[in-house]
Amino acid sequence: MLLLTLGLGLQLAWSVQRPVRLAIAEDLPPTPSLAAVRIAGFGEPVALAKGLMLYLQAFDSQSGISVPFTKLDYDRVEGWLERILQLDPPGQYPLFSASLFYAQGVDETRQRRMFEFIYRKFLDDPNRRWPWLAHVVIAAKHQLKDLPLARKYAQAIRVHAISNEVPYWAREMEIFILQDMNEIESAKVLISGLLDSGRITDAREIRFLEKRFEELESKASARQAGR
């Protein structure tokens, strides 16, 4: 019993004095080449893309530590997202992650960088990727308070996302941004152009635009009367 007690005491003393091992965040490795990941995919690029996406996301929740996105190398984050999209172009999750995870809770520089990444990738497939740029329009307006930037993205949706599957509210976001910028005449010109283009055939959408035009006309008249 004496020896057992002595042994337990020595073990306790050693445990107290032993330095605590701290969990250290690993750095995100450089993006592998497209040729290398295609070989690694064994002819299953979509499955590999999903696996790489899980691998990328694991870097904000490593063993024993939670890594804030601000600690990640965004050059490499962007490179990984790019590579995953190259493997699975129809895949939506990389842009979903870019807009809702990597662009949120970070400094403005990183946020703007993710916004521009989403914008560039949107241009590659606008009719399928418009939802993520629409989210960026709202974030640029309300989070960055940058109306010119929000208009740039909203204009891109109007010009490039021309499929009938794209809802009219997304294609007409630019009108509301212009109104927020007090660009009433520009908004009226835009509405007139949309109505005259022949691209809009839905009766509800036409009525909506006509009503919006009337509201802008009233606002412009009130402004003139105020002068």
Coil, strand, or helix at residue 107? coil
Secondary-structure breakdown of the chain: helix, strand, coil percentages, each rounded to the nearest 5: 70, 0, 25
Q: What is the pLDDT of residues 137-147, one digit of tens each?
A: 999 999 999 99
Positive or negative: CA dihedral 175, 129, 30, 71: positive
- The pTM (predicted TM-score) of the whole model is 0.79
Stretches in the chain below the pLDDT threshold 50: 4, 12, 14-16, 18-25, 62-66
Q: What is the pLDDT of residue 200?
A: 78
Q: What is the pLDDT of residue 13?
A: 58
Distance of CA 37 to the CA centre of its chain: 24
Q: What is the pLDDT of residue 66?
A: 47
Q: What is the pLDDT of residue 69?
A: 67
Q: What is the pLDDT of residues 115-168, one digit of tens each?
A: 999 999 999 999 999 999 999 999 999 999 999 999 999 999 999 999 989 988
Contacts of 157 (CB under 8 A, 6+ apart): 122, 126, 130, 133, 134, 137, 166, 170, 171, 173, 174
Contacts of 156 (CB under 8 A, 6+ apart): 119, 122, 123, 126, 133
Q: What is the pLDDT of residue 23?
A: 39
Q: What is the pLDDT of residue 72?
A: 83
